[in-house]
Structures are given as structure tokens and as C-alpha cells.
Amino acid sequence: MSESLIREMFATIDVRDWSRLDRYFTADVVYERPGYAPVSGLPALLDFYDRTRIIAAGRHDLWQVIADNDRAACWGRFVGQSRDGAVLDERFADVYLLVAGRIAKRSTHFFRPAI
């Protein structure tokens, strides 16, 4: 179940159907992502995707998803375009805490030098 939840969540994000995100995230979700303040709560997450995130379009290619009870992780590559037209090509990894079959916490990590 958790693996399909993660895969379906990314498919929903890729088609930009923000109205379906409540199927994947808890009402009090916390999302941590480099370059942004933590996003807390489903309304803030919807706003993040609709107005804040720099991505205009693209696709996540998941290379692997692993899940065990209340924890999951995935990694892969995103290729797309930013809102200002720049090409985006980024490897990423996510870790998740799941509560009652939904994502309660998500942390995204990118594969580039930071320190």
C-alpha cells in the first residue's frame, strides 16, 4: 500500500491536480524541502504547490520506492521546466513518516553540493 501511495502521489503532482493531494497527505502534514521554510498543514501544502514551488511542469521518474509499516523512502530524477522557463534536471530522495496510510511528514533531499 505505501509504495503505491508514493507512486500515485508523484503521478498526481506531475499532472498538477492539487485537489487530489488530500488523498496522500494528513491534514497536519509537514513538508521539508531545501530552499524553503517547512510547510505545515494541508492548506499550506496546497498553496506551496499552486503558488510557491518554482516548477511549472515536469515528470518524476522514480527509480526505487521502499516502505515498511509507517516509514517509506524513494529516490529518482525529476526533469521539467521552471516557471521562468529554465530547464530542471534534478536527482532527489524523499523520506516519509506515514500515519493511517497517509503521509504525515515528507523530507526531500537533492544530490548537489551544499556544504
Number of domains in the chain: 1
Residue 105 maps to which CATH number?
Answer: 3.10.450.50
Residue 88 lies in a domain: yes
Residue 115 lies in a domain: no
pTM of structure: 0.93
**CA gap 111, 36 in Å, rounded:** 16
For residue 38, which phi and psi values (nearest 5 degrees)? -55, 140
Residue 35 lies in a domain: yes
Buried b (16+ CB within 10 A) or exposed e, 42-75: beebbebbeeeeebeebebebeebebeeeebbbb
Contact 48, 35 (CB under 8 A): no
Full residue range of the structural domain in which residue 46 is found: 2-110
Quick: pLDDT tens for 23-66: 999 999 999 999 899 999 999 999 999 999 999 999 999 999 99
Residue 41 lies in a domain: yes
